[in-house]
C-alpha cells in the first residue's frame, strides 16, 4: 500500500463576480476510487485547510455518490490539513484535483510548490487534472530546473475555456502559462479524454481524463512496489547466504 495526497482548492467564488465554485467532485471521486480499489491510502489537504468548497455533485454518477457518502472520506474532507503543514516524506504521490478555483489559489503558493517539489525529488509521483496543473507552475526541483521544463502535459485548453464561458473570468490562460514554463502542452478535442505521462508527472486535460490520470499514476506506483519487492528479496537472499556461511 502507498500513501497518496489529494490537494483541493479553498476558493469558493470565481474572481469578483460571486459565481460559486470549488473542487471538481468528479475529478476527486474517480481517482479516489482508482486509488482505493488498488489498496492505497488516500489523504486530503487544501490550501487553507478545513472543509474545502465543492462544486455540484452529479447524483447520476455512482462514483461521485459513493465518494461523497463514504464515511472515511467525509471525515477526511470535513477538516483537511493546510498544505503548509504536510510532511512530504509521508507520501508516495500527490494528486492535484481540478476546479476553476485552483486558478486563484494554486499558483504562487510556495507551500504547495515546495510540497510538490519535495515529493517529486524523493522519487514520488505527481498527478494533476484539468485546472489542477495550475499548481505545477513555478515548481522547482533540487537542481533548480522547473518541474514543467521539457515535460509533455495536458490541461484544460483555451478552447474549452471559451466553450464553458470562463475565458474572460479566469486570471490567465493555463495552457499558455504551461508553455511559457517550458512544457509541451498537448491538446485533444474539447472534453475528450487526454492523459500525458512524462517521467513521473501525469496530467489530464479535463474531467473525462481524471480516472485515466489515476490509472497511469497507479501503474507507476505498481512499478515502484515491484522494484521494492525485488530489492527486499535480493537483500533477503544475501542475508540467507551470509547466514549459511557463518
Q: Are 195 and 216 in contact (CB under 8 A)?
A: yes
Note the pTM of the prediction, 2 decimals.
0.94
Q: Say what the pLDDT of residue 226 is.
A: 87
C-alpha cell at 87: 510532511
pLDDT reading at 213 higher than 90? yes
Segment 202-224 shows an average pLDDT of 97
| 231 — pLDDT class (breaks 50, 70, 90) | confident
Question: For residue 160, what is the enclosing H or E element?
Answer: helix 158-163
How confident is the model at residue 228, as a pLDDT?
A: 86
**Region for residue 13 given its phi and psi (left: phi exceeds 0; alpha: psi -120 to 50; beta: otherwise):** beta
Rounded Cα distance between 79 and 72, Å, is 12
Digit-coded pLDDT (tens) for 58-104: 999 999 999 999 999 999 999 999 999 999 999 999 999 999 999 99
Handedness of CA 182, 187, 192, 195 (dihedral sign): negative
Amino acid at each position: 500500500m502507498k500513501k497518496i495526497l489529494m490537494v483541493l482548492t479553498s476558493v469558493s467564488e470565481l474572481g469578483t463576480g460571486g459565481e460559486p465554485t470549488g473542487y471538481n467532485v468528479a475529478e476527486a471521486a474517480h481517482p479516489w476510487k482508482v486509488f482505493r480499489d488498488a489498496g492505497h491510502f488516500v489523504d486530503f489537504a487544501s490550501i487553507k485547510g478545513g472543509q474545502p468548497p465543492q462544486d455540484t455533485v452529479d447524483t447520476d454518477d455512482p462514483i461521485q455518490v459513493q465518494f461523497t457518502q463514504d464515511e472515511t472520506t467525509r471525515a477526511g474532507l470535513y477538516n483537511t490539513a493546510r498544505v503548509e503543514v504536510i510532511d512530504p516524506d509521508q507520501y508516495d504521490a500527490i494528486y492535484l484535483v481540478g476546479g476553476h478555483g485552483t486558478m486563484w489559489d494554486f499558483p504562487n503558493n510556495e507551500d504547495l510548490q515546495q510540497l510538490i517539489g519535495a515529493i517529486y525529488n524523493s522519487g514520488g509521483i505527481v498527478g494533476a487534472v484539468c485546472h489542477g496543473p495550475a499548481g505545477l507552475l513555478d515548481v522547482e526541483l533540487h537542481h533548480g530546473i522547473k518541474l514543467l521544463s521539457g515535460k509533455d502535459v495536458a490541461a484544460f485548453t483555451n478552447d474549452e475555456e471559451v466553450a464553458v464561458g470562463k475565458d474572460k473570468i479566469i486570471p490567465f490562460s493555463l495552457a499558455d502559462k504551461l508553455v511559457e514554463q517550458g512544457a509541451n502542452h498537448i491538446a485533444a478535442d474539447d472534453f475528450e479524454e487526454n492523459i500525458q505521462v512524462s517521467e513521473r508527472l501525469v496530467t489530464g486535460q479535463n474531467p473525462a481524463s481524471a480516472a485515466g490520470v489515476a490509472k497511469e499514476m497507479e501503474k507507476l506506483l505498481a512499478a515502484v512496489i515491484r522494484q521494492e519487492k525485488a530489492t527486499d528479496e535480493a537483500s533477503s537472499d544475501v542475508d540467507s547466504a551470509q547466514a549459511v556461511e557463518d
